[in-house]
Amino acid sequence: MTTNGNILVVDDDESQTRLLKTVLEADGWRVLTAHSGPQTIALLDSGEEADVILTDLLMPGMDGRDVLEAVLERRPEVPVIIMTAHGSVDSAVELLHAGAHHYLEKPTKLPELRIAVRRARDATETRRELARLRRRVELPADVVGISRPMREILETAIRTAPTGAPVLITGESGTGKEVVARAIHSASGRAAFVPLNCAAIPPAGFETELFGSRKGPSADGRREQPGAVEAAHNGTLFLDEVTEVPVALQPRLKQLVRGGTWQRSGDSEEQKTTARIISATSRNTAEEVAAGRMCPDLVSALDVVHLHIPPLRERPVDIPALAHHLLARLADRFQLEPADLAPDALAALTGYQWPGNIREMESVLARALALLSGRKLSLRDLPPHIARHAGNGARPVPGTPSAMLTLEEVEKRHMLNVLEKCGGNKLKAADVLGIDRSTLHRKLKTLQLAALQL
């Protein structure tokens, strides 16, 4: 017998759990029940599958808030619906910010319950599909991050990858726009990835570079010269710094994006391509349109799916993983032994603003690695203008030498420092760190800081 999925109902009121079990089973769900938080954890730890968890908020001992935290730690892909009496709605709304999927007021209306669990089940399937795609694509650390903006970019990129929808990626120079474009292409299963740096092509030669030409014999005797569009057939054409496309050619580019049709220079024959167009720019497209440098119809055609990559200074929580990833990649490129990051160096990297973003970090780490004499990159290996920011990335603890700190300790101190400056407000601190509150709470608990109060 097929079911809609598995629901775990948690409530200390046994008559309430029996009622919900009867109703949900009649709708085709497989229902498990628990009457306390510890019983819920035992079920999850035993390997029981759950697509949705429906829990009461007010329970003795371990309440719905604790159940939510336990689920976020053990099964973050499983949505939690909070059931609460009218007087506790404010608490339930707060839990939405902490990671709950939805809340229902008691007494629960059956139509609302049915809609809520169906939508939650759909959310579970989406999250699991995203997890499968992440494992298949193996995106690099420059794309993946724990910060909220990077997770949203990742999910949007993976969802749109199998489609042919045009994607416009914006962000400051050096933020990794081409890396994201290549990640989308990698997840799409398409053929070649053809990058074209529009800012590096002289205007006079742009038409030929993009569309190819049939004007006469070329230097190698051929009458036809293929362009990037032809090379990207069945693949992905990546137009970096697309705002640099000459205005005179923008109507033809719009025709390519909208209809997939194009012509070689000097040729009246119309061609058809299945190339997927991904474009990127470090400029503000609205300002470019206002200045007359961009055709508004072209921007509209390119901007079907929009991904904006925030600069590193707005997501310092991603810097540790990114720095380690870059060090490993650079060591492989230079055929050197991988280097570890000393806590003081990591604190400086985290505290620095990185106006050049990932590109600047890669350059700094490449120089440090090339000149490194040992196996650990420390503060003295960094440029002075970066090293002096070591105090911004962690809060010093008297009597503890910085050289003895672990990576976990540096991260813990950085979070404590931000929390202190935010007056202990976790929601505000999570925004400053660039992560959601549930992630911050899990990290604090993992670091044995769960006693820290709002």
Strand 271-272 with 261-262, pairing: antiparallel
23 three-state secondary structure: helix
- Cβ contacts of residue 16 below 8 Å, gap of 6+? 56
- Share in percent of the chain as helix, strand, coil (round to 5): 50, 15, 35
Q: Which CATH architecture has domain 314-446?
A: Orthogonal Bundle (1.10)
* pLDDT at site 74: 86
CATH topology of domain 148-310: Rossmann fold (3.40.50)
Whether omega before 76 lies within 30 degrees of 0, making that bond cis, reads no
Q: Map out the domains of the chain as residue ranges.
A: 6-131, 148-310, 314-446
Cβ atoms of 10 and 67 closer than 8 Å: yes
CA distances from 237 to 95, 230, 234 (A): 43, 9, 10
Cβ atoms of 31 and 20 closer than 8 Å: yes
Distance from C-alpha of 414 to C-alpha of 410, rounded to nearest angstrom = 6
CATH topology of domain 6-131: Rossmann fold (3.40.50)
- Cβ contacts of residue 345 below 8 Å, gap of 6+? 377, 378, 379, 381, 382, 390
- Cβ contacts of residue 401 below 8 Å, gap of 6+? none
Distance from C-alpha of 414 to C-alpha of 388, rounded to nearest angstrom = 16
> Which of 246, 259, 210 is closest to 231 using CA atoms?
210
Distance from C-alpha of 211 to C-alpha of 209, rounded to nearest angstrom = 6
User: What is the residue-level pLDDT of the chain in tens, covering all 454 positions?
Assistant: 457 889 999 999 888 898 899 999 988 999 999 999 999 999 988 888 899 999 998 898 888 888 988 888 888 888 899 998 765 666 766 777 677 888 888 888 888 899 889 888 877 776 676 566 556 555 655 565 667 788 788 888 888 888 999 999 999 999 999 999 998 998 888 999 999 999 999 999 999 999 998 765 555 555 678 899 999 999 999 999 999 999 999 999 999 999 999 988 878 788 999 999 999 999 999 999 999 999 999 999 999 999 999 999 888 878 887 888 889 889 988 888 878 888 788 888 988 999 999 999 999 999 999 888 888 898 899 999 999 887 654 333 333 334 444 445 556 666 766 776 676 677 777 777 666 666 777 666 554 333 333 2
Q: What is the pTM of this model?
A: 0.61
Bridge partner residues of 376 (DSSP): 340
Amino acid at 250: Q
Same topology for domains 6-131 and 148-310, yes or no?
Answer: yes
Distance from C-alpha of 269 to C-alpha of 224, rounded to nearest angstrom = 13
230 three-state secondary structure: helix
Distance from C-alpha of 444 to C-alpha of 438, rounded to nearest angstrom = 10
Distance from C-alpha of 379 to C-alpha of 377, rounded to nearest angstrom = 7
* pLDDT at site 216: 57
Distance from C-alpha of 442 to C-alpha of 426, rounded to nearest angstrom = 12
CA distances from 22 to 19, 25, 30, 33, 229 (A): 5, 5, 10, 11, 60
* pLDDT at site 155: 80
Cβ atoms of 405 and 343 closer than 8 Å: yes
